[in-house]
Structure 1
Amino acid sequence: MKLDLEQSLASMKTQLTAYCSQKGITNPIVVGIHTGGVWVAEQLMSVVDTDEALATLDITFYRDDFTRAGLNPKVNQTLLPAIEGRHVILVDDVLMSGRTIRAAMNEIFDFGRPASISLAILYDLGQHELPIQADVIGERLQLNPDQRVKLSGPLPLTVSVIDGY
């Protein structure tokens, strides 16, 4: 399966612009989840009407599988401005089970209570285990159970489908 990354990003940009306009969201905080979500968020910043720099979130310690044997996390830095009462656009590369997004929202609420959280996802795999849906989706994919999406970057930003996962 060949994915068109540029087309998916362009779709996200168009949807995100329309979404923010429709919802009346101005000057939001764009938050990318390390690492792929940060790379996608960097691509979206050009269409977001905000004075804020890109915020980043490392959800390593918020994951529900953190204490499982063999997990050896590479921890990145969380950089969030004051979010109390602000609109947040949470960005990630792939939505699969929804557990990463749940962990990200838990961490965001530890920093304060935003006015809203909107979710922008590059690829939605439709394998949700939690009731989490994206507001902006670059592309919906139907993969075989042994396939995964792999985003590599940041320069160049590339995507591939990996078989035999």
Structure 2
Amino acid sequence: MTDLPAVPALLDRLEQGLRHYLNERGIKRPLLVGIRTGGVWVASELHRRLGLEEPCGELDISFYRDDFSRIGLNPRVTPSHLPFETEDRDLVLVDDVVMSGRTIRAAMNELFDYGRPSSISLVALLDMGGRELPVQPDVCGERLNLSPTQRVKLVGPEPLTIEIREVKA
């Protein structure tokens, strides 16, 4: 069994890494956009910690998934909410776990339907490796290596915790 990192420590690392990354890139007014559900929880906490004035955005990528025709509609689909203009802005896309890269591809496709941002940076609480697409987080809290029969799940929102779940191989 893998020792799971504590979420508060991961958020501390993520906050520090994101501050450094934004400063290094000269991004003064980032817009945070969380991917439902865990990414929204992480984005909300980062938004609070960074003291950003503009609200967080939320994406529900259900209609943008590349397996939508196979799995159908999630019964809990809710509209995405971007309470700001994305054109020529620096977006920070936030997810809880990055693995194959397919969720991030779907999120970027949706973001471009709202306009053409100046840049999109990717922040993830956990990086699981296992890429199927060339998508890498710019900042992540930690990289975990699990067995092929294990998946990680962020549970929350209060408190945020990480669980490992067994899946069929």
* TM surpasses 0.5: yes
Q: Deviations over 1:106-128 (max 9, x none)?
A: 00000000000000001100100
Aligned residues: 165
CA RMSD between the two structures: 1.4
Report how far residue 48 of structure 1 moved: 3.0
| Superposed displacement of residue 45, structure 1 | 0.9
Pick from 51, 54, 57: which aligns with 2:53? 51
Q: Verify: 1:2 aligned to 2:3, yes or no.
A: yes
Specify which of 91, 115, 118 is matched with residue 88 of structure 1: 91
Extract unaligned runs of 5+ from structure 2: none
| 3-state SS in 1 of match to 2:120 | strand
Does the Cα contact within 8 Å between 1:123 and 1:140 map onto a contact in 2? yes
Pair 1:83–1:91, CA change in 2 (3 A) = same
Match of 1:101 among 100, 104, 122: 104
Aligned match of 2:34: 32
Report the residue type matching 1:68 in the other structure. Answer: R
Per the alignment, residue 134 of structure 1 pairs with 137
- AA in 2 matched with 1:137: C
Give the TM-score normalised by structure 1: 0.95
Is 2:117 the partner of 1:114? yes
Aligned to 2:43: 41
Give, as a single letter, the amino acid of the residue that structure 2 aligns with 1:53.
P
Shift of residue 133, structure 1, vs aligned partner: 0.6
Residue 150 of structure 2 aligns with an amino acid whose one-letter code is Q
- 8 Å contact kept, 1:60–1:73: no
Structure 1, unmatched stretches of 5+, are none
- SS of alignment partner, residue 67 of structure 1: helix
